[in-house]
Chains A and B, each alone.
Chain A
Amino acid sequence: MAKAPAIPPAPLTPSRRTTILFGLALVAVLSFLALGLQWGQLLPHGGGVEIAGNFFAAAVQPAFTYEGSDFLPADAPAFLLKVGLALWRTLLYAVAAISLALVLGAVFGVLASEGFWQGRRGGAAVRLAVRWFMAVLRSVHELIWALLFLAAIGLSPAAAVMAIALPYGGTLAKVFAEMLDESSPAAANALHGLGARPLQVFLFGRLPRALADIAAYAFYRFECAVRSSAVLGFFGYTTLGLYIRQSFENLHYREVWAYLYALLLLVLALEAWSSQIRRRFVA
Chain B
Amino acid sequence: MSSSPAFELAGVQVNLGGRPVLDSLDLRFVAGDMVALIGPSGAGKTTLLRVLNGVIAPSRGHLKMFGQNPADLAEARRRHLRADVGFVHQDHSLVPNLRVLQNVVAGGLGHRGFWSSLRLMIRPVRADLMRAHQLLERVGIGDRMYHRTDSLSGGQQQRVALARALFQSPHALLADEPVSAVDPARARDMIALLTTLAKEEGWTLIASLHDVALAREFFPRLVALREGKVAFDGPPQDLTESAAEAIYRLDG
Contact = CB atoms under 8 A, between A and B. Distances in A.
B97 A187 contact: no
A269 interface: no
B87 A190 contact: yes
Contact of A195 (B50, B79, B93, B98): B79
Contact of B95 (A187, A192, A281): A187
Interface in A166-209: 186-187, 189-197, 199-200, 203-205, 208-209
A204 to B, nearest CB: 5
Contacts of A189: 55, 93
A209 B102 CA distance: 13
29 contacts: A186-B89, A186-B92, A187-B93, A190-B87, A190-B94, A193-B50, A193-B53, A193-B54, A193-B55, A194-B107, A194-B168, A195-B82, A195-B83, A195-B110, A195-B111, A196-B106, A196-B109, A197-B79, A197-B109, A197-B114, A199-B114, A200-B109, A200-B117, A203-B121, A204-B109, A204-B121, A205-B95, A208-B98, A212-B97
Interface in B76-132: 79-87, 89, 91-98, 102, 106-107, 109-112, 114, 117-118, 121
A196 B85 CA distance: 12
A211 interface: yes
Contacts of A208: 95, 97-98
Contacts, number: 79
Interface residues of B, number: 37
Contacts of B89: 186, 190
Nearest to A283: B148
Contacts of A281: 97
Nearest to B161: A190
Interface of B: 50, 53-55, 75, 79-87, 89, 91-98, 102, 106-107, 109-112, 114, 117-118, 121, 164-165, 168
B79 A209 contact: no
Nearest to A119: B75
A189 B92 CA distance: 11
A204 B117 contact: yes
A57 B85 CA distance: 74
A208 B96 CA distance: 9
Interface of A: 119, 186-187, 189-197, 199-200, 203-205, 208-209, 211-212, 281
B87 A191 contact: no
A99 to B, nearest CB: 23
Which of A192, A197, A205, A209: most chain B Cβ within 10 A? A197
B86 A194 contact: yes
B111 A186 contact: no
Given A191-B109, A195-B111, A204-B95, 10 more contacts: A186-B89, A186-B92, A189-B93, A190-B89, A193-B54, A194-B106, A194-B107, A195-B109, A200-B114, A208-B98
Contacts of B96: 209
Which of B50, B86, B92, B95: most chain A Cβ within 10 A? B95
A212 B83 CA distance: 29
Contacts of B53: 193
